[in-house]
Structure 1
Amino acid sequence: MGDKLLGVAALPDGQRRRGLHQGLEQLLEPQLSEEQIMVIAGIPREEIRHTRAVQDWLAEGRQEGEANVTLRLLTRRCGLLNEATTARIQALPLEQLETLAEALLDFQGPADLAAWLAAHA
């Protein structure tokens, strides 16, 4: 498989794109382990961790995790949140989620959340 991906570079553009797409689909198969992907791609783990794609995935995971924890805490502090408020919080950048997570410790109820969101729009 790794040889197959390397051979794709020599193909004309249209075939190259199809070859890369097929190779990436195989690399991203859910049943493959991290080690199998590293062997197929021929890239050491430490090197791939520093690629833009992996850094983006890690940042996305951190943002989603922070949003989930913050939403759980807000639900306990403010009660059930409506879909619009939930979506708005999930869309916040990581830095704002961290700020909200700290601020919610002082919230007395939903009005404090509404005021925070209005102030940080």
Structure 2
Amino acid sequence: MRGGAADAAIQFQGWERQRILDLFAVLDWMMRLPEGLEDKLWQDIEQIEGERKMPYVTSVERRATERGIQQGIQQGIQQGEEKVLERLLTRRFGPLSEATRQRLRSATLEQLERWTDNILDAATLENVFKD
């Protein structure tokens, strides 16, 4: 008689990875196992992961990861835009006040883009920030 991960691996042969992950996610969502059984389940899952090189990641975890990556990319773009605009403003109008630097830090990406466009025609620093 087989037990644990061996039975699970045999039963899941031929299933697509996503189908297995979805099944685990549904089971995890639907029921709470007694601590001893939950520990055994995780041991079996870890063994299967090792055999198949397949980490157990639910769709919720994947979506959260993807959302985090997108937010990180957006934040990086915004910080880059802020730094470029700060450099351009300093070069054109001289050293910036702390109030102006704070205004740049608290601006939205759309505002930063608009101000970057405005710098080309603005005669004064105040004109850069006009909408």
Structure 1 CA distance for aligned equivalents of residues 56 and 102 of structure 2: 36
Given residue 126 of structure 2, which amino acid in structure 1 is its aligned partner? A
The verdict on how the C-alpha distance between 1:86 and 1:42 changes in structure 2, with shifts beyond 3 A counting, is same
Q: Which has the larger radius of gyration?
A: 2
Are the equivalent residues in 2 in contact too, given 1:70–1:97 (CA < 8 A)?
A: yes
Question: Given the alignment, which residue of 73, 76, 92 partners 1:58?
Answer: 73
The count of aligned residue pairs is 80
1:77·1:107 contact (CA, 8 Å) conserved in 2?
A: no
User: CA–CA distance in 2 between the matches of 1:55 and 1:69?
Assistant: 21
User: What is the RMSD of the two structures over their aligned residues, measured on CA atoms?
Assistant: 3.1
Provide runs of 4+ in structure 1 moved above 2 Å.
39-43
Q: TM-score normalized by structure 2?
A: 0.49
Distance change (3 Å), C-alpha of 1:64 and 1:42: same
TM-score of the pair, normalised by structure 1:
0.53
Report if the CA contact (8 A) 1:66-1:94 is conserved. yes
SS of 1:81's partner is coil
Identity of aligned residues (%): 36
Instruction: Note the residue ranges of structure 1 that are not aligned, 5 or more in a row.
Output: 1-8, 12-38
1:62–1:40: structure 2 CA closer, same or farther, 3 Å change rule?
farther
1:114 and 2:126 correspond: yes
Unaligned regions of 5+ residues in structure 2, if any?
1-28, 34-53
The alpha-carbon deviation at position 85 of structure 1 amounts to 0.6
Give CA deviations for 1:52-71 in whole Å, capped at 9, x if unaligned.
11111110000000000000
Which of residues 110, 114, 121 is equivalent to 1:95? 110
Cα pair distance change 1:106/1:51, threshold 3 Å: same
Read off the aligned partner of 2:66 and give its amino acid letter. Answer: T
